[in-house]
Structure 1
Amino acid sequence: MIVEHALLSVRDGQSAAFEAAMRQAIPLIAASSGFLGIEVRPAVEAAGLYLLLVRWDDVSSHREGFRTSDRYQEWRALLHGFYEPMPRVDYFGPSLIDSPAPSE
């Protein structure tokens, strides 16, 4: 499993519209072969900044699978107009450490 990571900088005043568009776009990526899960987290101290984390079987599931699909073109049309600048995408391998959840 790999994790796709991107910091999404959304244009001022567009956060609510971006969040609605992201909810609409998630089924597009979720239908992809090799897709394992997605998180989109708003920054606590920076308005308009979001952390995108997508779990894939491997890099090619994203690059050669989703990004070459018609669903990606729809994803792009829904979301890419919100970004300034366009985000950089990086891929990360397995965690070096696994920490257990704190006991309650």
Structure 2
Amino acid sequence: MIIEQALLQVKPGQSGQFVEAMQRARPLITAQPGFQSIEVRPAVDASDQYLLLVGWDCVESHRDGFRKSPDYPRWRALLHEFYDPMPTVTYFGPSIFS
């Protein structure tokens, strides 16, 4: 399993709306082939900041699957308006611990 990681900086004062939109968007990603898990965690010491962690079978499941799927434009429409700046996605491999 690989982990897709993004630090989401939500526009000030829009966290409540973002959380609602993320809840509506969740089924779009969980239905994708290769999807394994999703976590969205609010920062403890930075308001309007969230850590997105998505588990995928492989990078291609996200990059070539979800991002090219018919569900991705809806995901983007629900969530991307909240970000400033747009997040950078990083992929991480298997844990170094067994």
Name the residue aligned to 1:20: 20
What is the TM-score when the length of structure 1 is the normalising length? 0.93
AA aligned to 1:49 is Q
Unaligned runs of 5+ in 1: 99-104
Moved >4 Å (runs of 4+) = none
Aligned residues: 98
Structure 1: distance between partners of 2:26 and 2:35 = 11
| Same amino acid, percent of matched pairs | 62
Could you say which structure has the larger radius of gyration?
A: 1
The 3-state SS of whatever aligns with 1:40 is: strand
Structure 2 unaligned runs (5+)? none
TM-score when normalising by structure 2: 0.99
| 1:44 equivalent in structure 2 | 44
Residues of 1 paired with 2:51 and 2:11: CA distance?
Answer: 15
Provide the alpha-carbon RMSD of the alignment.
Answer: 0.5
Q: Counterpart of 1:8?
A: 8
CA displacement at 1:37 relative to structure 2: 0.6
